[in-house]
Amino acid sequence: MKRKLSIGLSILFIAISVIALADGPYPSVGLYWYDSHDPTSGAGMTAPLNQLLVRTDSPSLYYKSGGANTAWTRIGTGTSSGGTVTSITCSTGLSCTATNPITTSGAVAVNLTPTTCAASSAVSAIASNGTGSCTAFLTSASLTTTDQNHLYVSDDFYNAGDNTFTSLWSTGGGGTDTDVGGTSNHPGIREICTTTTRKSIFSAAGNFDTWVPGGGVTDMIWGLRLPVISDGTDTYIAYVGTTTTVSGAPTRGVYCQAAQAASANWQACTTQASVSTCVDTSPIVPIVSNHWVRCAWEVNAGGTSVAFTIADTTASITGTATNTTNIPAALSAPAAYIVKSAGTNSRCIDLDYYAMSETFTTAR
């Protein structure tokens, strides 16, 4: 004796297996049962591919795995015994007719409850009984982007011919401007060297009107070294930070400087209207040839204070300083440059990396 239990689907979204075969996927939506017959032997059982069959005399579950009537595959391994299926009970998401539970014959229907979402939202997840969860759409008013709230720009000077270098920087003042061999922890090095006067690397197209303090917390960092420091024969000052000029001392800017005529140590400087505050760090960081130096500073959101960190990473010395006077009140731009006042020998700055970030107080 065989019976067929059909399931009516109003919305096809339940926990149904979908098996991809050579001729396409087939959903298992039919439920059959035998009460005293093995569907893999004899005449088998006619059913579409991937239908389910319950054998009730020796409780087993099969699925239709091929075109032949006997092509049923038992789910699981081994043999089962004990008991006979005598009823099917319907609970949430299913309805049984003509009785619940079904003890002789009847039909099982899937009751899916569609979910209606409010305007500007959509169903984002559906449970097995068809109920869904709604999620609101993102609107332009709710979107925030990095560009609206934050500025970040950096360069590892990995290759002067790449787009980053050519889009960020211009060079000037004669002399040479070349890549030099990197090391294991300094993978890209850009070396700028003077002729008799100066050499510079500065913001793109020579534009010194790019940044002004007071719009939000701003950080800048440079990694550099001086292969040969200034002396009595070839005297120079190296500036690294922001400036309004590369032909002399900054008229506005926040920067680190190596000026042996003023100090034998790296100094933290702020300049407004050509009036400067330059101080040694504590502890001091001496200017030493061929030592890698990290020049970093942070301007507070109001543009009223600059916290400097200058570190000789070769000698493991780190000094700090805070300037609250002569902080620039107008535009300047990132630059690294060297200005000579004596001597004809070439002098250089090696640049390893640069980065600048600003978190705007008010989104733009």
Q: Give the CATH number for residue 214.
A: 2.60.120.200
Q: What is the pLDDT of residue 10?
A: 30
Same domain for 130 and 106? no
Same domain for 222 and 350? yes
State how far the Cα of 5 lies from the Cα of 29, in Å rounded to an integer.
10
Q: What is the pLDDT of residue 325?
A: 97
Same domain for 161 and 27? no
Same domain for 321 and 217? yes
Spatial CA neighbour of 34 closest among 66, 72, 68, 90: 72
Same domain for 192 and 131? no
State how far the Cα of 347 lies from the Cα of 175, in Å rounded to an integer.
9
State how far the Cα of 224 lies from the Cα of 292, in Å rounded to an integer.
6
Q: What is the pLDDT of residue 174?
A: 75
Same domain for 134 and 108? no
**Eight-state DSSP code of residue 223:** E
pTM over 0.95: no
Tokens of 334: 């990132």
Based on DSSP, count helices (H) and strands (E) in the chain, helices before strands: 2, 27
Domain boundary among the residues 69, 97, 112 is at 112
Residue tagged 């061999």 (tokens)? 181
The structural domain count of the chain equals 3
Cβ neighbours of residue 78 closer than 8 Å, sequence gap 6 or more: none
Same domain for 99 and 70? yes
Q: Is the dihedral of CA 204, 209, 214, 216 positive or negative?
A: negative
Domain boundary among the residues 94, 124, 143 is at 143
The DSSP code sequence of 38-88 is -TTSTT-----TT-EEEETTTTEEEEE-SSSTT-EEESSSS---S-----B
Q: What is the pLDDT of residue 145?
A: 55
Same domain for 122 and 231? no
Amino acid identity of residue 326, one-letter, is N
State how far the Cα of 14 lies from the Cα of 37, in Å rounded to an integer.
29
The DSSP code sequence of 269-320 is EEEETTEEEEEE-BS--B--TT--EEEEEEE-TTSS-EEEEEEETTTTEEEE
Domain coverage including residue 120: 113-143
Tokens of 13: 């979204």
Q: What is the pLDDT of residue 31?
A: 63
Same domain for 190 and 126? no
Same domain for 107 and 154? no
Same domain for 191 and 58? no
Same domain for 78 and 129? no
Mean pLDDT by 10 residues, the chain (364 residues): 36 34 42 71 82 73 82 64 65 76 77 74 69 71 65 79 56 79 85 78 62 92 96 93 90 96 96 97 97 97 96 96 96 89 90 92 88
Q: What is the pLDDT of residue 3?
A: 39
